[in-house]
A and B are shown apart, each in its own frame.
Chain A
Amino acid sequence: MKKKRVSFSKLYLVIVMLITYLPIAMVVVFSFNDSKLPVAWKGFTWKWYQELFHDAAMIEALKNSLILGFISCAMAAVIGTLGAIGMARVNYKSKGMIEYLSSIPIMVPEIILGMVFMAFFSLLNLPFGMVTLVIAHTAFSIPYVFMMVKARLVGIDKSLEEAARDLGASPSRIFWDITLPLILPAVASGCLLAFAMSFDDVVISIFVNGPRMSTLPIKVYTQMKTGVTPEINALCTIILIVVVLVLLVSSFFRRGKKEYK
């Protein structure tokens, strides 16, 4: 009886995962298809990969997305981490309100954030482009870092910092030697999540990108409305491979760390 139930639950997990991966598999398969339309298999080709590497606009969009992801992630990492550390120790009256406000970007539908930024940036006369994109992406990246670090700080053994203080360490020394190493995993996972969101964002970017700046998701979106070229399939396949490699490497490192502990 019990065994039967276990196998049902496993079957369920497998079926849902198969459906999840079906569209991804389609994209990968059709990236090798020798036809412009994704309807029937016409034979194997590397053509789309070659065209992709020669498509300057696509490479440019990919570059923009990577730059945007890294800068906004780095800014969010600094602002979010310092903020979470400081917030745990100050008792300003405005604390709760600021925490609530900073979480708004992930609490309201993306479209609202997009339009609000668009309106506000044009009020400030900021030139639409990378700068506005970075500000917008930083805004929705901060909550991820902030909340991850905040949760980690709650779990940290306070006696470690007290012991360091009793032994005469300066506040900055305590920060660099005790607090930072302890919260670094939280910062890293917050950043990863934020980068994934930034790299995939269409809705917010489309409002603040300006006429000339194009990120990868925006490029894909415009193609999907006008007509997709199989190059996109090829690009997605490459990204998929990179993602799998990165996740494998990071899980490998995490495992190594646990054994060390």
Chain B
Amino acid sequence: MKNKKNLWGLCVMPLYFFTLLFILGPMIYMVTVSFAKNNGGAYGFTWNFTLNNYTKIGDPIYLQCFIQSFKLAFATTILVVLIGYPFGYFMAKLSPKGKKIMMFLIMVPFWTSSLIRLYGWIIILQVKGVLNTALKTIGLIDKPLKILYSYPAVLIGMIYALLPFMILAVYSSVEKMDWSLVEASRDLGASPAAAFVTVTLKLTLPGLLTGVILTFVPSMGLFFIADILGGNKIVLVGSLIQDQLTRGSNWPFAAALAVILTILTSLMIYLYRRITHVKDLEGIF
């Protein structure tokens, strides 16, 4: 008996080792550095305890950056919900063959480089791009629209990159829903809308919230989309951290930004678990 226990203990050893060394270690280091004093210059900081890095975040310039990131993440998440929820819902109602085809169609872009797909949007949105040419040919516009390197372009890119996660989360939630409950509520006289809100929406809430997490959390960090489609006009926390690390060489400040961002996103996941009572993120796994 004891022998067997040791065997299972041996099984988890690599996971313990890797997690403690390469996840916990770096995390602790980041928190420590966030309290260190910046000396300027490459990687220059000294181990003098200071809270300056955190108070600096209150600076309007940096605060603005956080607010802008949150605004963009919120806008992205809301639009992804509005587009993705119906998609996942309708998809779950397809025939088995239809589902399989849809799943295939969703998986293919997922596997192709997200950068390349963004480049596809550049081709479409640029001033002399496909969209403007098409609109001009129809006669809807005389002057080309300047969509690329603007806020809407970033929003399009974000929605495009994150929509599949929402679709998959909602789909798997709707898929395993017990439809007889909806029928029962209809039989008891609920209107389709009332049945949807009180039964369907409630039962698929964990999936929807998983989708929200999987959209909101990454959208705080996807700086390269804002970088490529926004043309440096929109500075997000992600770009700010990268800038502080590379050009600014202010590691303690970057670490403080990262700690705050981690706390904010962990808070969201904690709330998600409190609301849904689900431990793992439903849908993706």
Is chain B found bound to chain A in the same assembly? yes
A contact set with B: CB distance below 8 Å = 9-10, 12-13, 16-17, 20-27, 30, 38-40, 78-80, 82-83, 85-87, 89-90, 92, 94, 98, 101-102, 104-105, 107-112, 115-120, 122-123, 135, 138-139, 142, 144, 146-148, 150-151, 171, 196, 199-200, 202-203, 207, 216-217, 220-221, 224-225, 228, 232-233, 236, 239-240, 243-244, 247-248, 251
* Interchain CA distance A79-B20 in the complex, whole Å: 13
Decide: A13 and B87 in contact? CB cutoff 8 A.
yes
By DSSP majority rule, is chain B's interface helix, strand, loop, or mixed? helix
Decide: A119 and B109 in contact? CB cutoff 8 A.
no
- Which B residues are CB-close (under 8 A) to A120? 22, 25-26, 29-30
Distance between B196 CB and nearest chain A CB, rounded to angstroms: 12
Does B184 lie at the interface of the complex (its beta carbon under 8 Å from any beta carbon of A)?
no
> Chain B interface: which size bin?
35 or more
- Which B residues are CB-close (under 8 A) to A98? 12, 15-16, 19-20
Decide: A22 and B228 in contact? CB cutoff 8 A.
no
Pick from A78, A111, A228, A247: contact of B221, CB under 8 Å: A111
Decide: B90 and A123 in contact? CB cutoff 8 A.
no
Decide: A142 and B18 in contact? CB cutoff 8 A.
yes
Decide: B11 and A86 in contact? CB cutoff 8 A.
yes
- Which A residues are CB-close (under 8 A) to B223? 111, 203
Distance between B140 CB and nearest chain A CB, rounded to angstroms: 18
* Interchain CA distance A109-B120 in the complex, whole Å: 24
- Which B residues are CB-close (under 8 A) to A90? 5, 8-9, 12
- Closest residue of chain A to B23 (Cβ to Cβ) is A101
- Which B residues are CB-close (under 8 A) to A24? 109, 112, 116-117, 120
Decide: A224 and B228 in contact? CB cutoff 8 A.
yes
Q: Tell me the residues in window 131-179 of chain B with beta carbons closer than 8 Å to chain A beta carbons.
A: 133, 160, 163
